[in-house]
Copies of this chain bind each other. A is one copy, B any other.
Amino acid sequence: MPVPSPDLPRRVGIVGSGLIGTSIGLALRRAGVEVLLRDTDPEQVKLAEALGAGSLWQGERVEHAVVAVPPHAVAAELRALQQAGITDSASDVASVKSRPIAEAVVAGCDLTTWCPAHPIAGRERGGAASAQADLFAERTWVLCPTVHTTSAAVAATEALALACGALPVRTTPDRHDEAMAALSHLPQVVSSLLAAATPHLRPGELALAGQGFRDSTRLADSDPALWSSILEGNRGPVAAQARRVAAELGALADALDHASEASVGKVVTDLMDRGRAGRTLLPSKPGPAAARPWGWVGVVLDDRPGQLAALLTTMGDWRVNLEDIGPFEHSLQAPAGVIELAVAPDVAADLVDRLNAAGWCAYRRS
């Protein structure tokens, strides 16, 4: 448990005790913060209280308020809090940023005490019952302060994110919305479109759905009302992403319908190479992207004691520095498994040769 920041509010009010609001309550309670909750649905508050996420907020003064409602409702809830004068600062958790800010301006909100924010975490199932105290652990919590936002409001929001175990990052509302269109909003749409194909199949053919289909359509279980609010709140960037993917799918279909075998192969390979290149850019853990330019070497290990120790001793004797190590892939009852080792890229090929010469079964992982 990290030492709490002096900026961490000691009493936080949460508007909306769904999945995100209740999870923030659970995380803040664990960090010793007093949490008050309210929701238009009394059942959700009752559940959140029973789970230990805080107690009912009946208008008491708080140091910071978290507006944990769908995007379209942020400005009105913020305005109501400010008119009641019961919080020093506020943040929100909405998955779109530009439009709620514009709506807050129109609604006459005080922009100085509000830090627009968005924790990148969620589950397909919403509601207080799905809340988890560690939902934000090592997740990104985006802060999009405007030019009006005071440093005190930013500091309180950042301290709150850290207290929930998240990694705060800052960007502008426009950049946030464009990135989320590509990274979250379009994937959500596509997941629903893929899942919508199954009613056209015969019942027995649904057995042909493998794990890949289940993973690709997991997001389709999400709440339609919430996602209507998100997509409607980020029209331009989502439309641009949808048109990009539609154009690519159309071009692929044209090639599949008309092109030569070689041309189809080229179109597919190009598409997949771009996808693979895109995947390699993702940070290997949430947080700042880190280049990890290791060479990976795989080695088969028998199921005998001391095999890995012998391998690492050999590498040490050769003065080959081990940079990282993968999981030991080993099926139950199989006589052998595979371990993968990361070394400096310029020594990987040589290491494979030396290991094979020394009687190991090694290979270069591409």
The segment from A61-69, A84-92, A244-252 that touches chain B is A244-252
Our pick among B134, B192, B207, B363 for the contact of A271 (Cβ within 8 Å) is B192
Give the chain B neighbours of A3 by CB distance below 8 A.
none
Query: By the criterion CB–CB under 8 Å, are A224 and B184 in contact?
Result: no
Q: Cβ of B279 and Cβ of A220 under 8 Å apart?
A: yes
Residues of B within 8 A of A198 (CB): 182-183, 278-279, 281-282
Q: In chain B, what residue has the closest Cβ to A229?
A: B265
Find A245's partner among B190, B201, B204 (CB 8 Å cutoff). Answer: B190
- The quantity of this chain's copies bound in the complex is 2
Query: Known contacts A205-B175, A246-B250, A278-B220: does B228 contact A268 (CB below 8 Å)?
Result: yes
> A242 touches which one: B202, B256, B289 (CB < 8 A)?
B256
Identify A194's interface contact among B121, B190, B365, CB under 8 A.
Answer: B190
Interface string of A123-153 (1 = CB under 8 A from B): 0000001101110000110100000000000
Per-residue 0/1 for A237-260: is the Cβ within 8 Å of any B Cβ (1 yes, 0 no)?
Answer: 011111111111110110011000
Give the secondary structure class of A's interface. Answer: helix
Question: Chain A interface (Cβ within 8 Å of chain B)?
Answer: 26, 30, 43, 46-47, 50-52, 120-122, 129-130, 132-134, 139-140, 142, 167, 169, 171, 175-176, 179-180, 182-184, 186-222, 224-225, 227-228, 231-232, 235-236, 238-250, 252-253, 256-257, 261, 264-265, 268-269, 271-279, 281-283, 286-289, 298, 300, 329, 331-338, 361, 363, 365
- Give 13 A-B contacts (CB < 8 Å), ordered by A residue: A52-B334, A52-B335, A121-B211, A182-B200, A184-B213, A190-B190, A190-B249, A193-B271, A193-B275, A214-B282, A224-B273, A246-B247, A246-B253
Given known pairs A282-B206, A333-B133, the reply for A195 and B300 (CB within 8 Å) is: no
Chain B residues lying within 8 Å of A222, measured Cβ to Cβ, are: 272
A273: chain B residues at CB < 8 Å are 224
Task: Report the Cα distance A235→B305, complex, angstroms.
Answer: 50
Q: Besides A139-B210, A195-B279, 18 other CB < 8 A contacts?
A: A46-B361, A120-B209, A130-B338, A175-B202, A182-B197, A184-B213, A190-B249, A192-B274, A198-B281, A203-B281, A217-B278, A220-B279, A221-B279, A231-B256, A231-B264, A238-B253, A242-B256, A243-B253
* Contact status of A243 and B239, CB under 8 A, knowing A219-B216, A273-B224: no
Contact residues in B for A231 (Cβ distance below 8 Å): 256, 264, 268
Contact in complex: B47, A361 (CB < 8 Å): yes
A219 — which chain B residues lie within 8 A by C-beta?
212, 215-216
Contact call A242/B232, Cβ cutoff below 8 A:
no
Contact pick for A268, options B43, B232, B279, B286, CB 8 Å: B232
Closest CB in chain B relative to A279 CB, distance in Å: 5
Given contacts A184-B213, A210-B183, A300-B47, contact A276 B220 (CB under 8 A): yes
Tell me which residues across on chain B come within 8 A of A269, comparing CB atoms: 224-225, 228
CA distance A175 to B206 in the complex (A): 11
* Chain B residues, Cβ within 8 Å of A335: 51-52
A277 surroundings in chain B (CB, below 8 A): 196, 199
From known contacts A50-B361, A179-B201, infer whether A275 and B192 are also in contact, taking CB-CB under 8 Å: yes
By CB atoms of chain B within 10 A, which of A43, A169, A212 has the most?
A: A212
On whether the beta carbons of B207 and A235 are closer than 8 Å, the reply is no
Chain B residues with CB under 8 A of A193: 245, 248-249, 271, 275
Chain B residues with CB under 8 A of A201: 179, 182-183
